[in-house]
Structure 1
Amino acid sequence: MDNRNSILTDTLPDQAIFALDIGTRSIIGMVGMPDGERIHIVAIEKAEHTKRAMIDGQIEDIDQVAKIAGQVKERLEKKLGCRLHKVCVAAAGRALRTESVTFEMELSRAQKIDAEAVSRLEAGAISEAEKIFMSREGKDSDRQFYLVGYTVSRYYLDNYMISNLVDHHGRVLKADIIATFLPTEVVESLYSAMHKINLEVASLTLEPIAAINAAIPQNIRLLNLAMVDIGAGTSDIAVCRDGSVTGYTMAILAGDEITESIMKEYLVDFDTAEKIKSEIDEMEELHFTDILGFEQTITRESIFESIKEASFRLCEEISAKIIEINGGMPSAVFLAGGGSRLAGLKEGIVEHLKIDPKRVAIAGNNFKINAYSEEYDLENPEYATPLGIVISAGFNIVNDSYRITLNDRPAKIFRNGSFTVMDVLMMNGYNYQDMIGRSGQNLVVSVNGKRTIFYGEKAEPSVLKLNGEEAQLSDPVNAEDWIVFIPAKHGKSAAAKLSDVTPLGPDKRVVVNGQLVKEDVVLKSGDKIEIEELVKESDPVEEQEVLFAAEREEESGVAVRQEHGHPPVSGIRLAPAEMSSMNIISGALKEEIKKEQKVRGEITVILNDTPLVLPPKPNNQPYYLMDMLEYSGLDFKNLTRQVMLEVNGENGYFQQELHNRDNIRIYQV
């Protein structure tokens, strides 16, 4: 039975890998199925960018990249007969940074090394790399960087180099790692583009690591080899020796350098220059029309001459980067990517490296070691990165920077120094409203010139636990932690009718926004209501409501607030003179009013030295400390320092229940 038939279902099997190589000039999609020790590539699609949406490997136009990636996804889905929901990608960009560190960990005694000990060793190495990187880059740059991944170059056990520590016995563990950092905008733009086409990013690796995993398999990495993946915008470089990847970097000169030289020399647009570049090896003479409308015919030799200087710069830059990252001349060089087939490039690398021509080759021959296909020629050097992404994910050789579980699934984590629960939630698509909830919109109207507020429902608090215990957003997160988070439920917006402000009847003349109203109407925020009493009769109930309003005004100094499900009060702020005339209120009546306030579920707290009257929640639900964040005056989207929570002089926590007269402080330190 054909292996392809086994995946023609509504969804791909869990073990299937869908990879997207988002390049400067094109996007290549590839789908593979693990088959023993190799990956069976069952579908490949490619689409060119219709405009320059990528510059030097970095996304500039998210919508345009999402559009082309969506086309590739749809073609693959049609070819496979199933939906694609998860994608594996690789990050690049002109601002890639690396940091190499050595970290040592000594155990209390010699013992059998388990996976947890190795994780702690690598986590320590990551933290050390971050400290060094941030101390250097963070001082002079306004850009924020994520640690997006790392590669272990070597392990040592009791000072002896070893390829795998697990299950060996020893006491002193050491690791050499290469940590990679990218600006936050490079990573977030990649995720944004994928989310726009309803794809969940299942794994992220780095383009040079992906390419070397395809071009230079593990079984030949004992040799000192270099791999150069030449794309349109960047040239990714990785080197290996003694069985491990020992370094990787990027040159921001690539195929576009040649294209732009042709544009300038012959006055043609970018697409025409690309066509000329691709046909150099196929045609003795090339015909085209320049931007002025003149038809031209040029020979291959004249094109070679026009791109000679640009080609020299490209070969010089690539060769210098190879020697820099390798610390000297490698034994051999593999050229991959679409740019590897540029005429004269291989010869230029040979010349600059002063290496035997037989030691520089186009990659592709080794692709078959880890992958095969019955329909596609996988030796195409352009497939180095997409094939490497599939291989990296399929054989689980993607080193994420951290391992944290969020709601029983691996969390997307990009480190930028120590981080908190809030950082984890925001990296995984949650926002502040999910954490603290959004109250329903209030309805604010004017009654006889006085402001009256109908409050929207309060949000139901979120549930937040770290390793099974109630947690705060500011709690630090460590490797192997697990988080449970249930977002807050937003409250319903307030709704009210005119009858909620005043009873309608023949004894009143009611005008709303200048129009006489005789029937009940739905109110909108900003409505201006004028009520004129045509007949005034003594009403004990109304008098008690006025007294209640006065007592509230006297205690809190704020307007009377109306809530759904409670009898309306006047909603009118009393002037000082009116308040002074209310001295007829007896002590007994005041006590009755306070009792009524308690029954109504209102509480008063002191927030940052200011009294705050909180109306009752639906079903008399309690207030939590998290509810106070929206009243604190802090801009949680632009925090610059740590936020402190205090209740009655002691540290508070996110879901701490509040009580009447609690003294609360929320501030930055």
Structure 2
Amino acid sequence: MSEKPSDLIFSLDIGTRSVVGVLLKQQEDVFAVIDFEIAEHDERSMLDGQIHDVLEVSQVIRTVKSRLEDRNGPLKQVSVAAAGRSLKTIRLSLEHATPGKSLLNKDDVLSLELSAIQEAQKQLAEHHSETEFHHYYCVGYSVINYYLDGEMIGNLIDQRGSIANVEIIATFLPRIVVDSLMTALKRADLQMNTLTLEPIAAINILIPSSMRKLNIALVDIGAGTSDIALTAEGTITAYGMVPVAGDEITEALSQAYLLDFQDAEHIKRQLQTDQPVTFTDILGMEYTSSVEEMVKRISPDIEHLAEKISHKIFELNGSSPQAVMLIGGGSLTPTLPEVLAQKLQLPATRVAVRGADAIKNLVLNDSLKGPEFVTPIGIAVAAQSHPIKYLTVSLNDEEVRIFDLKKIQVGDVMLHAGINIKKLYGKPGMAISVHVNGKLKFLPGTLGEAPHIMVNGLPAHFDTVVKNNDVITVEAGRDGTSPDVLVRDLIEDIGTLDVYINEQLYSLPPLFERNEQPCEMTEKIQDRDRIQIRLPRTVQEIIIAARRTNLLETVKLSYTLNQRGKTAILRKAKLYVNDKEASLISSVSQNDRITVEEISMMEKPTLSSLLSEEELVSLSMNVTFNGMPLQLPIIKTELFVNGNPAVPEQLIEDGDSIEFKASPPVTPIFSDVFRYIDIDLGKPGPSTQMKTCINGEPAHFHSELKEGDQLELIWE
């Protein structure tokens, strides 16, 4: 063993078809491949770059790791990359004030870059609900440009200025992709050192910044996905992915020749040679076919793969790029570069497969020169040039991984976990609305409490700095309550009503009504109550408020109405306001004088004062006759007192028996009109004929009438 394991960079490319492990050693700017290992999945445990069977994938990872350890010693940490499946991309710039006297160092620049990533996380949180955001991890980023005091600059290290600015593209993947990757590594006794995105890893080693002024598309065609990255004007402009790749070609061979998937995969690799291919289908029949014939058989599927890739490139780039680089095992598909060039309307020489031998500053042996080794080597290089490390903390008993930035705070952990900090604050108590003297008022509830935060059992705040393996607990603050308001709390400066009752001055307080019912001022207000607060207005209210109800003493008069016992209340005194006779409902103003004068002989009630208006008035129907309004009785009421006919003005004595009788309702007919009008029904001439109409329609004398009918009698 020539190298210590601690000096080596261990990277894994966990693909849909196989797992590739690479060991590199860095000496200044040169990377040397020390060892590598490849192991294929026995089952289809990965689809489209996503782990579907963690146990199977972890076993393959363990196999690769064990073989490398046998030759190089123990391996504990590994750098990995995730495919671009379901990625989200945020592009932004972030500026930071820098000390004017000191030079910027590598840590300053890295902190600025990672702070920009964190700002990208915040933007992602603003555009997604909290339940969705915490399912995403940042898996890589690329620096587009640096700026110093507003001017673009190639590198910030050892520069001096007032404002440093970095523009980045940060990419995020679903948590299920990252978590399944971490779980598979853990089962293989490996700890994730860094994580990146496959197109980021590849583009940084194949297309250095000096080449990025060209509009180049890099396509990493694996087994399950084809990841795409684009450069232009000196920067990486976009990332994308299509869920079709080499497995589509394997499936095409399997379908065309009735082959098991593993056999089809083996045959697909033989298509890179010029030798005839011999195979046996699932029925046991043996065939020999030329490569040209087999490629022609699956050419529609090759064209479909090229179509999907070219469509995505057009979508991301807006036009054809200047050139396309193909990497990954799927890039070796026969005729694919030529078909893709046609789809992109490029010369065939502008679409080329690039292998690991195209990587600058890399020392490797001949067995690693193929395009399938670009990404695993790129992952190892990215671990050094663009490291993204995580610290792990516990947040409410749930493990959270977050960037190992300087001064990671509790608030950062909550943001990364997708917790909506606003929801940690107790909600204000529900306000209530109340109408006070006709005016709408809103009474706010109490404020909610702030959240209770603990770090390692000690009180903390959102800006408390956390370390690896810290334990954070957060309890939401309690909600506020609805307001506890009494009627008296609504009293404004109403004052008192000063009046004289029989020459004695009274200063009377306001009266209170709640939902049109008298209430006490100590009653609790409920939502939508209608409160009336006013001074007494009538003689009766004033006498009651002044506690002089003795002045309103009455006597009872008993009588019967249609043989049912009734009682009438008679006052024993006369009322005057400012020397004018008044009643209990008479209005009173400030400083008015009320006089209550007892009477020796009470006034007797009339029949009309005891009976309702409906009992006294005959009901009738309104019609018109020849344009003249007319009322036709329907029901008529007759009045009797002690058996004798009576009129509404008759006085009633105590003990009187009152009766009223209503005739049954009748429906008037046309001929009833003549009982209430004076009209000559004789013929005006020998040749004339009588014509009767109701509402313009012919009618007879016995036709029934309705309310509002228009009657006519004419001679023609």
Equivalent of residue 75 in structure 2, options 69, 79, 84 = 84
The more displaced of 85-94 and 51-60 is: 85-94
Does the 8 Å contact 1:112/1:167 carry over to 2?
yes
Residue 514 of structure 2 corresponds to which residue in structure 1? none
- Change in Cα spacing, 1:295 to 1:178, as seen in structure 2 (3 Å) is same
Matches for 1:100-139 after TM superposition, within 5 Å: 100-105=91-96, 113=104, 118=109, 121-123=112-114, 125-138=116-129
1:240 is matched with 231
Report if aligned partners of 2:410, 2:466 keep a CA contact under 8 Å in 1: no
- Going from structure 1 to structure 2, the CA distance change for 1:260 and 1:21 (only over 3 Å counts) comes to same
Aligned equivalent of 1:643 = 475
State the 1:199 CA deviation. 0.8
Aligned position for 2:27: 35
**Normalised TM-score (structure 1):** 0.58
Give, in angstroms, the shift of residue 57 of structure 1: 0.7
Secondary structure (helix, strand or coil) at the match of 1:170 reads coil
Query: What amino acid is aligned across from residue 261 of structure 1 in structure 2?
Result: A
What is the match of residue 99 of structure 1?
90
What is the CA distance between 1:212 and its match in structure 2?
1.6
Cα distance in 1, alignment partners of residues 218 and 274 from structure 2: 29
- Partner letter of residue 483 of structure 1? K
Shift of 1:358: 2.1
2:62 alignment partner AA: G
Q: Deviations over 1:605-662 (max 9, x none)?
A: xxxxxxxxxxxxxxxxxxxxx9xx9xxxxxxxxxxxx62379xxxxxxxxxxxxxxxx
C-alpha displacement at 1:35, in angstroms?
2.2
Q: Is 1:347 the counterpart of 2:338 in the alignment?
A: yes
Check 1:360–1:53 CA distance in 2 against 1; reply closer, same or farther (3 A cut): same
Out of 402, 409, 426, the residue aligned to residue 413 of structure 1 is 402
Summarize deviations over 1:253-286 as a string: whole Å, max 9, x none.
1111111122222222211211221122325543
Residue correspondence of structure 1 range 494-533 to structure 2 within 5 A: none
Q: Report the counterpart of residue 273 of structure 1 in structure 2.
A: 264
Distance 1:321 1:190, change over 3 A: same
Judge conservation of contact 1:215–1:364 (CA < 8 Å) in 2. no
Question: Alpha-carbon deviation of 1:157?
Answer: 2.1
Alignment pair present for 1:483 and 2:475 = no
Letter in 2 for 1:644: A
Specify whether residues 154 and 42 from structure 1 end up closer, same or farther in structure 2 by C-alpha distance, changes over 3 A only.
same
Tell whether the 8 Å contact from 2:391 to 2:469 is kept in structure 1 after alignment.
no
Match of 1:398 among 380, 386, 399: 386
Which residue is 1:54 aligned to?
A: 46
2: CA distance, partners of 1:329 / 1:196:
44
Identify the residue that residue 379 of structure 2 maps to in structure 1. Answer: 389
Given residue 413 of structure 1, which amino acid in structure 2 is its aligned partner?
Answer: I
Q: Provide the secondary structure at the position in 1 that maps to 2:138.
A: strand
Q: Distance in 1 between matches of 2:114 and 2:317?
A: 25
How far residue 388 of structure 1 moved from its aligned partner, in angstroms, is: 0.5
CA contact (8 A) 1:287 1:297 kept: yes
Give the letter for the 2:157 counterpart.
V
Cα distance in 2 between the residues matched to 1:111 and 1:419: 24
Given the superposition, is the C-alpha separation of residues 142 and 87 from structure 1 closer, same or farther in structure 2, using an over 3 Å criterion?
closer
What does 1:129-528 align with in structure 2 at a 5 Å threshold? 129-138=120-129, 144-283=135-274, 285-364=276-355, 367-373=358-364, 375-393=365-383, 396-400=384-388, 412-413=401-402, 421=410, 464=455, 470=458, 472=460, 475-476=461-462, 481-483=465-467, 485=469
Does the aligned pair in 1 maintain the 2:85–2:173 contact within 8 Å? no
How many pairs were matched up?
436
1:5 aligns with 2:2: yes
Write the letter of the residue equivalent to 1:387. Answer: I
Deviation at 1:331, TM superposition (A): 2.5
CA gap of 1:175–1:184, structure 2 versus 1, over 3 A, is same
Q: CA deviation at 1:470?
A: 4.6
Structure 1 189/403 Cα, relative in aligned 2: closer, same or farther at 3 Å? Answer: closer
Single out whichever of 31-40 and 294-303 deviates more from structure 2: 294-303
Relative to structure 1, the CA distance from residue 170 to residue 352 in structure 2 (aligned partners, 3 Å threshold; closer, same or farther) is same
User: What is the aligned-residue RMSD (CA, Å)?
Assistant: 3.7
Equivalent-residue separation in structure 2 for 1:317 and 1:251 (angstroms): 7
CA 1:257/1:485 → structure 2, altered by over 3 Å: closer, same or farther? closer
Amino acid paired to 2:315: E
**Residues 24, 35 of structure 2: 8 Å contact kept:** yes
In structure 1, the residue matched to 2:66 is: 74
In 2, the alpha carbon distance for the partners of 1:484 and 1:156 equals 32
Contact 2:141/2:200 (<8 A) preserved: no
Partner of 1:606: none
The 1:189–1:335 alpha-carbon spacing in structure 2 relative to 1, beyond 3 Å, is: same
Q: Is the 8 A contact 1:33 1:41 kept in 2?
A: yes
Query: Does the 8 A contact of 1:217 with 1:369 survive in 2?
Result: no
Cα distance in structure 2, aligned partners of 1:377 and 1:220: 27
Letter aligned with residue 35 of structure 2: A
Shift of the alpha carbon at 1:72?
0.6
Measured in 2, the distance between the counterparts of 1:243 and 1:53 equals 39
> Could you tell me how far apart the structure 2 residues matched to 1:83 and 1:403 are?
22
Aligned-residue offset at 1:344? 0.5
C-alpha change, 1:221 and 1:97, in structure 2 (3 Å) is same
Structure 1 position 471, deviation (Å): 5.1
Q: In structure 2, what residue type is equivalent to 1:28?
A: V
CA distance in 2, matches of 1:319, 1:124: 35
Q: Which has the higher helix share?
A: 1
Contact persistence 1:204–1:398 (CA under 8 A) = no
Partner of 1:533: none
Change (3 A) 1:471 1:18: farther
* 1:153 match: secondary structure: strand
1:141/1:404 Cα in 2 relative to 1: closer, same or farther (>3 Å)? closer
- Structure 2 residue runs of 5 or longer lacking an equivalent are 395-399, 418-453, 479-716
- TM-score (normalizing by structure 2): 0.55
Instruction: Measure the CA separation in 2 of the matches of 1:122 and 1:380.
Output: 33
Rounded to whole Å, the distance in 2 between the matches of 1:130 and 1:6 is 39
Q: Identify the structure with the greater strand proportion.
A: 2
Identical-pair percentage = 39
SS of the residue 1:238 aligns to: strand
Which blocks of at least 5 consecutive residues in structure 1 are unaligned?
Answer: 429-462, 488-625, 630-641, 647-669
Pair 1:376–1:279, CA change in 2 (3 A)? closer
Report if aligned partners of 2:408, 2:466 keep a CA contact under 8 Å in 1: no
Secondary structure of the 2:339 match is helix
CA apart distance, 1:85: 1.1
CA-to-aligned-CA distance 1:59-108 (integer Å, 9 cap, x gap): 1111100101111111111122x111111111125212212223345679
Q: Residues 111 and 284 from structure 1, CA distance in 2 versus in 1: closer, same or farther, beyond 3 angstroms?
A: closer
- SS of the aligned residue for 1:208 comes to helix
Counterpart residue identity of residue 368, structure 2: L
Distance in 1 between residues matched to 2:131 and 2:392, nearest whole Å: 34
1:312 Cα deviation after fit: 1.0
> How far does residue 325 in structure 1 lie from its aligned partner after superposition?
2.8
Q: Bigger shift: 18-27 or 347-356?
A: 347-356
